[in-house]
Structure 1
Amino acid sequence: MPSFLHRSSHDLAVEAPPDRPLVGIALVLAAGLVFSLADTFSKVLAERLPVVEITWLRWAGFVVVVAPMLVATRGRVLQSGSPQLQAFRAACLIGSSLLFVGALSVLPLASTTTINFVSPLIVTALSIPLLGEKVGFRRWAAVAAGLVGVVVVVRPGSGTFGWAALLPILSATCWAAGVIATRRLGGIDRPWTSMTYTSLIGFVALGLVVPAVFIMPTGFELLLAAGMAGFATAGQFLTVLAFGRAPVSVLAPFTYVMLIWATALGYIVFGTVPDGWTWFGAAIIIASGIYTAHRERLRVRDAARAPVPELSRADRSQA
């Protein structure tokens, strides 16, 4: 595994704001709405422009946001304790975006969103090799149940989605790897550093590929792209604010309200409604994700309550 995933933290970490659960819940609900709007705009654009170009335009919006910080700090915001890990995180998020937009181009909005909800379960699985965490039987059972939910949604052999259903699954896997990297970076770099690295790397890397497939957008498509980038950026900020004001275990159940937003927008804009099997699979995935968050809360609580072993006389003399 990459050695930079095991870097230790240092004093660049910043003090977290006090917990305000109701504010956090309101923010995460708002984030779900604006992310769904961004995905809706992406799906409309996917019928008109190449996937790579759409993703690049989305990253361009991020660059617009971080550019003032880059200028104000004269580039110091790019000073990182782990540039390799920043590059790894950016690559994961670029892959996730490309695969997700690709999924939106061929699958219904609500179905793509539903399958992508498997990402917290993949984070649990990846936390073993990449973070060295111990995952018990019950959390593994939750992961297995979530995968069953994906199978119910996809229904292999039914001809409903075919191989296209792999796109949101792969997107969720890339996103989960990015989350693992974000956890490591939490004690190494400030959030603005991570956002700036990801924005610049994504914009430049995708910009190298875009000329090969570029189609000149119309004025309407540029408006759609601006809305997509604006909503996606707003969603990122709202998510950061939300999880800074309430624990993940408190907010996790409310992130799934995004499925309701996606379903409503899918019906309003595209006239699509998930069938009964999709709702059933979504219920399994959501229940698995909520249970996983519950087990994580218990794990963190038990770790906090664990007694600190006393130092031996020799240890105390060296402390």
Structure 2
Amino acid sequence: MTVPSFAQRAPDSGSPAAGIALRLAATGLFACMSLCVRLASFEAPVGQIVFWRSAVALVPIVVYLVIIGRFPAALATRNPLGHLRRSAFGCAAMFFSFLSLAHLPLALATALGFLAPLVAIPFAMIFLKERPDPLVIGAAGLGFAGIGLMLAPAFNGPAPDISTLLGVAAGLACALTTASAKVEIKRLTATEPAGTIAFYFALVCALAGLATAPFGWSDAHGTTLVWLVGAGLCGGLAHIAMTEAVARAPVSTLAPFEYTAMLWAMGFDLAVFALVPAPLSLVGAAVVVAAAALVAFAPRLRLFRNTATQRMTP
């Protein structure tokens, strides 16, 4: 008997507690992936890391599809161009994310990852003519102010810290491309199972990473090889855990647990690198995360405010 996949289940089926546990596991696995990427970046170029992270991730993804009885059926797609667009944006986001991890402490690189929903707000206002709630607009402004605080320590001293500036620029570019990738994912989920999306994303990113080989790869061996393989395994398992979490609990229930990523990142910075970012950078990171959380929970806040107003109205 096969286990039904996320695409075959009714939305939000199963136990919310199990969904929360899986979302926490996914967050921890993504944090471990980021740690492996940072450790590998000391020896391997970004393109090589992208290849290993994506190629190795195909193994747990395929095993998962076999277990749920969707392999090779999940390889069939009705929207190959949609997968190509999603994978192109997602692959660009991965390159920028790994470049950011190579130049920044984990905590700061993780905080920049929360910028994607904030970046989407001005885009929606300009290109889609949307008019977000003033609370959401204020949160976006707060998030960008947090980036200023994160950057401030880079300008201390006689010359700017070029490595920090490069890492933050890559993080901002990652937020832009991630926002675009999420739009494509939203379109794809109308017809494509989550496992299919994950498979083709990993495949395209592996090919893109492989294309960088002529520009020079390191001779990966020893601990560097361990970090490269670890990044792929953690990334693949994290995608599976996140997919199964969404199958068991509403997205709104799972959203708060995404922010535990900051705890993982700060813990790894301290335990592995004995590193504490500059206090002003940490304040900026906290502001970015708080702004992202405010955008995520804005619908609930509006509902609470409207309910309270109705109760007070005679």
TM-score strictly above 0.5: yes
Cα displacement (A) at 1:48? 0.7
CA distance in 1, matches of 2:143, 2:29: 25
Cα displacement (A) at 1:108? 1.2
Aligned match of 1:151: 148
**Relative to 1, partners in 2 of residues 1:178 and 1:13: Cα closer, same or farther, differing over 3 Å?**
farther
Q: Secondary structure at the match of 1:274?
A: coil
CA distance in 2, matches of 1:194, 1:130: 26
CA distance in 2, matches of 1:300, 1:195: 34
**Relative to 1, partners in 2 of residues 1:164 and 1:283: Cα closer, same or farther, differing over 3 Å?**
closer
**Relative to 1, partners in 2 of residues 1:126 and 1:299: Cα closer, same or farther, differing over 3 Å?**
farther
**8 Å CA contact 1:94, 1:202 repeated in 2:** yes
Aligned match of 1:47: 42
Aligned match of 1:314: none
Cα displacement (A) at 1:47? 0.3
Which of 73, 82, 86 is the aligned partner of 1:85?
82
**8 Å CA contact 2:60, 2:233 repeated in 1:** no
Cα displacement (A) at 1:134? 4.8
CA distance in 2, matches of 1:163, 1:214: 21
Aligned match of 1:249: 252
**Relative to 1, partners in 2 of residues 1:30 and 1:127: Cα closer, same or farther, differing over 3 Å?**
farther
The runs of 5 or more residues in structure 1 that have no matched partner are: 1-11, 302-319
Which of 274, 277, 289 is the aligned partner of 1:286?
289
Aligned match of 2:29: 34
CA distance in 1, matches of 2:62, 2:127: 32
Alignment of 1:45-194 (within 5 A): 45-67=40-62, 69=65, 76-127=73-124, 134-155=131-152, 157-158=155-156, 159-160=160-161, 161-194=164-197
Q: TM-score, normalised by structure 1?
A: 0.81
**Residue 210 of structure 2 is aligned to residue 210 of structure 1:** no
CA distance in 1, matches of 2:102, 2:277: 17
Which of 265, 280, 297 is the aligned partner of 2:268?
265
Aligned match of 1:316: none
Of all paired residues, the percent bearing the same amino acid is: 24
Aligned-partner residue type, residue 89 of structure 1: R
RMSD between superposed Cα atoms in Å: 2.8
Aligned residues: 291
CA distance in 2, matches of 1:274, 1:224: 23
The runs of 5 or more residues in structure 2 that have no matched partner are: 1-6, 305-314
Aligned-partner residue type, residue 106 of structure 1: H
1:213-264: CA deviation from partner (whole Å, max 9, x where unpaired) = 2222113322222211111112112222223333333322221111111111
